[in-house]
Structure 1
Amino acid sequence: MDQAGNRGAVRGFAVGMEETTRRWIAAMRDERYADAWAIEQAILALRDPATRDDPAQPYHRRWVWDGRAPDGRDVLVRCYQGLGDTIQFARYLPLLAARARSVTVEAPARLHPLLRAIADVALLAFDPANPAPPADLDIEMTELASALRMPPLAVPVPYLAHTPAALPRGTIGLCWAAGDWDRDRWVPEALLAPVARAGPSLSLVAAPTALPVLNPDGCAFDLSATAALVAGCALVVTVDTMIAHLAGAMGKPVWLMLKAEPDWRWNPQARTSGWYPSARLYVQPRSGDWHAVTRAIARDLPGFFHHDVAESDHGQPAQSVGARLLG
């Protein structure tokens, strides 16, 4: 094939992969998980085995699983994606442990306390400069759903518990910042002022804020401390970041502020999530329109807290949503 033919073949492959990715995203958003897994298997069959866990690729672009079943094998789960992705898919670790001979999870050390609360598995600290050697079967954390053929809600939620921080009743946790790699997920913090003024509010961002919150210096950059704050909140209002997954995994009411074309795991046409039953989705009606999102949240807050009081007013002392969920 001549050079022009090679370029055409590459373009054709890229177009084909884009269409395949669109079909996979549509299947995931529609909760047609069997269809999504079939697409993943078809992609896996086309991959060159020599490119598996390719050190020439950044970790978040690597594929790890070779398609074999984990049953009866020594499995190494590698956490190459973000903290939120790891929390989202950690729900599958108990199921994996029940089928594999052994399970070791290689994850950032700061996640270990939360992972210990989810599953009884061995833990290794992930060192990007010195990753663990291959095991009998390697798999990336986000590949577990496909490998186990288990939809999200096959795992009861909450699947993560944490001792709550002592906070005023009805505290709202606020997170308006996500990773720097996608600034379109960030909400200008000033837009959340009406929400923060609706009752006792707490920042879940590790930076100072001018909002009227209980902790104007921000949240500690520590996952256990953050988990305690989330557990103590009555409601968490957050952008698409780790906080959303932490709250969802705990079964906390979480109102998720999403850009008009959100990540694959959120359906912009829905108000609910197949991953987290306690989530409510607030999607931009137009790209960049966070004003509409925050106005809708401020409008819905009185109904949320009225419902909370009504449920509690049956001859028993009123409890926060957090107290009820955590028993």
Structure 2
Amino acid sequence: MSETDSPQAFGTWMECMRNGAFEEAWKFSDVALATGTNRNYTLPRHQQGIWDGRSLQDKRVLVRCYHGLGDTIQFIRFAPLLKQIARQVIVWAQPALIDLLKTVNGIDELLSLHDGTPDVAYDVDVEVMELPYIFRTTLATLPKQMPYLHAEPLPLPQQNAEKLSVGLVWQAGDWDKSRCIPFSLLEPLAQMEGINLYILQANVTSASWQEGFGIHPGEFSLYDYGRVIAGLDLLITVDSMPAHLAGALNIPVWTLLHAQADWRWMDNRLDSPWYPSMKLYRQEHQGNWQPVIEQVATGLRSLVNSVL
């Protein structure tokens, strides 16, 4: 479901998902599917429902990836499950992700997403974020095979066994600034002993980064970015694509969430059923990141003391 469906129904759907009651949420999705309110093709792609309810059994299934990079990474875990019933699984995904998605089991063909129509024959199409609903996923049946993305670690400057290799990302996309942490609050992490702090923030100059704060290894393609993360001991990041990438690679990741975080992180949890390697740090009050950074610094000191 999306915000374009009945506002009241969508609100209840969100509450169910936040509480882990997926099976109850799917009942509201059933109504949207039956009435067709989820399939309004005049809306932007990411707000469109695609699946029309037809069976995927023994069909050529096209999986459209119309949301963000992190969404594709999170929900592509369903590809092996889809392959168990479909004759062919075709994934139409963001070009930057293609090389990483080649490592996912269950995908027969990968196509680069563009603004036109897919140049491939298929019988049924779905959007990648519809797959949990299609499979009536619950917390108990959530695919947990880890890792489901694979990347050979890429060596980093100054990397050595005497210090932990810790990556840092503090800004998400411009569309939701509430996920971003002011650079000025990060100083306690830069002073931490026993770690090499790698700056993995995209577009660091526009993210207020200052030379001398951590080690900036450069800019990478998304595939090589995955290789960098694969070589870390820990990634510390806000709610953005790198959190999903680390989780899918089964790399330890601490995800820093604002007080009104997305439904996928659920409520009142410090772990994530989606990613066993993930720990969640949450704001108690909207906009107040200082206590979160203090908790992260304390946790990082404890981690250093326990392994070095």
Q: What TM-score bracket applies, with the shorter chain setting the length?
A: 0.7 to 0.9
User: Residue in 1 aligned with 2:90?
Assistant: 104
How far 1:286 moved relative to its partner?
0.6
Structure with the bigger RCO (C-alpha within 8 Å, sep 6+) is 2
Is 2:41 the partner of 1:41?
no
Secondary structure of the 1:285 match is coil
Does the 8 Å CA contact 2:76/2:128 hold for their aligned counterparts?
yes
Q: CA deviation at 1:278?
A: 1.3
1:162 is matched with which residue? 151
Are 2:172 and 1:185 equivalent residues in the alignment? no
Larger Rg: 1
Is 1:195 paired with 2:157?
A: no
Name 2:229's counterpart in structure 1: 230
* Aligned counterpart in structure 1 of residue 202 of structure 2, from 195, 203, 206: 206
Aligned to 2:168: 174
Contact 1:165 1:228 in 2 (8 A): yes
8 Å Cα contact 1:71/1:99 also seen in 2: yes
SS in 1 for 2:262: coil
- AA in 2 matched with 1:31: G
Distance, in Å, in 2 between the alignment partners of 1:28 and 1:144 is 15
Shift of 1:47: 1.6
Matches of 1:62 and 1:20, distance apart in 2: 17
Q: How far apart in 2 are the matches of 1:282 and 1:142?
A: 25
SS of aligned partner of 2:186? helix
* Structure 2 match to 1:242: 241
Counterpart CA distance in 1 for 2:138 and 2:154 is 32
Tell me if the contact between 1:173 and 1:237 (Cα under 8 Å) persists in the aligned partners: yes
Matched with 2:296 is: 297
* Structure 2 portions without partners, runs of 5+: none
Q: Deviations over 1:268-321 (max 9, x none)?
A: 421111111111111111110011111110111122233334xxxxxxxxxxxx
C-alpha separation between the residues in 2 aligned to 1:174 and 1:300? 14
CA-to-partner distance for each residue in 1:238-274, whole Å, 9 max, x for gaps? 0111000001111111111111101111124211111
**Rounded Cα–Cα distance in structure 2 between residues aligned with 1:16 and 1:115:** 31
Deviations 1:111-148 (A, max 9, x none): 11111111232011111144447731110000011112
2:207 maps to 1:220: no
CA–CA separation in structure 1 for the residues paired with 2:264 and 2:5: 22
Superimposed CA distance per residue, residues 20-43 of structure 1 (whole angstroms, 9 cap, x where no aligned partner): 222222222222221222221122
**SS state of the match for residue 200, structure 1?**
strand
Where 1:105 maps in the other structure, the secondary structure is strand
Letter in 1 for 2:191: R
Ranges in structure 1 where 5+ consecutive residues have no aligned partner: 1-13, 310-327
- Aligned residues: CA RMSD: 2.1
For the residues of structure 2 that align with 1:72 and 1:308, how far apart are their CA atoms?
50
2-structure distance, mates of 1:240, 1:274: 15
Task: Tell me the TM-score normalized by structure 2.
Answer: 0.88
1:59 to 45, 48, 59: 45
In proportion to residue count, which structure has more helix? 1
Q: Is the Cα contact below 8 Å between 1:261 and 1:268 reproduced in 2? A: no
Deviates more, 1:85-94 or 1:190-199: 190-199
- Structure 1 contact 106–125 (Cα < 8 Å) conserved: yes
> 1:298 is matched by which residue type in structure 2?
A
Structure-2 separation of matches of 1:104 and 1:305: 44
Question: Which residue of 57, 76, 82 corresponds with 2:62?
Answer: 76
Could you tell me which residue of structure 2 aligns to residue 279 of structure 1? 278
In structure 1, the partner of 2:307 is: 308
Letter of the structure 2 residue corresponding to residue 204 of structure 1: L
- SS in structure 2 of the partner of residue 174 of structure 1: strand
Alpha-carbon distance between aligned partners in 1 of 2:5 and 2:93, rounded to the nearest angstrom: 33
Name the CA shift for 1:148/1:207 in 2 (closer, same or farther; >3 Å). Answer: same
Q: Secondary structure at the match of 2:255?
A: strand
Identity %: 37
Q: CA offset at residue 184 of structure 1?
A: 1.1
Q: How far off is 1:232 after superposition?
A: 0.9
Shift in CA distance, 224/133, structure 1 to aligned 2, threshold 3 Å: closer
